[in-house]
Amino acid sequence: MSMFSLTGKRALVTGANTGIGQAIAVGLAQAGAEVICAGRRACDETVAMITAEGGTASSVLVDFADPMAGQGLFGDQAIDILVNNAGIIRRNDAVDFTESDWDDVMDVNLKALFFTTQAFAKAVLARDGQGRVVNIASLLSFQGGIRVPSYTASKHGVAGLTKLLANEWAAKGINVNAVAPGYIETNNTEALRADESRNAAILDRIPAGRWGAASDIAGAAVYLCTPAANYVHGAILNVDGGWLAR
């Protein structure tokens, strides 16, 4: 079997209804995995894209605004791969930022990620299996950003949790890594792309000279799930067009 094959594996991708999550779900299916697409909205389009290519996919409605919503996802069937992609963002000046906007983002981006991953790991360890976790971090796991205090705090937290969980589980058969997307054309970045001056400033700094596509993230995430990444633990793979190299 190819070191890049996921044939026979079952993956669950959160926030798989659109954007980066959708691209990762399709990429995992193309590598041979059966994919369960989880989202607060229906993932019918993603499932259709996968099945149209001959892959196997299903969907489940989960709203990670409840940080414990993922607790029941791993009891009925063995899942080998978890991709924590679900996330939200709120924008406002730090002096005007509300407690609600803080809590909403932290609950989805960090608390739900941890407790969903905990439930996944418990199931893997209970069956003495092998597992892969890929968290979706951000450039704001390393930088401060502007007007997104809870998002920045949550993504710094994702980077830290990725390393902590790797430390605890690497010797137990579970690889935990993350992908840090750069500026990608998704719903979350629509406001930035619509701001002419901010868009120009961002493009000017990206060595690749373009915004990334969601599909640019899929390859990195799939790699971390394959046997090719067997000895990769606690890594945060930047896929940013060279942004952090500047």
Q: Cβ of 33: how many Cβ atoms within 10 Å?
A: 28
Based on the residue annotation, tell me whether 151 is a catalytic residue of this protein: yes
CB 90 within 8 A of CB 19: no
3-state secondary structure of 211: coil
Annotated active-site residue in 151, 183, 223, 231: 151
Angle subtended by helix axes 149-169 and 112-126, to nearest 10: 20
Amino acid in the structure at residue 13? V
Tokens of 65: 């605004």
Amino acid in the structure at residue 49? M
CA dist., res. 127 & res. 100, Å (int): 39
Identify the helix (H) or strand (E) that includes residue 156: helix 149-169
Could you list the active site residues?
151
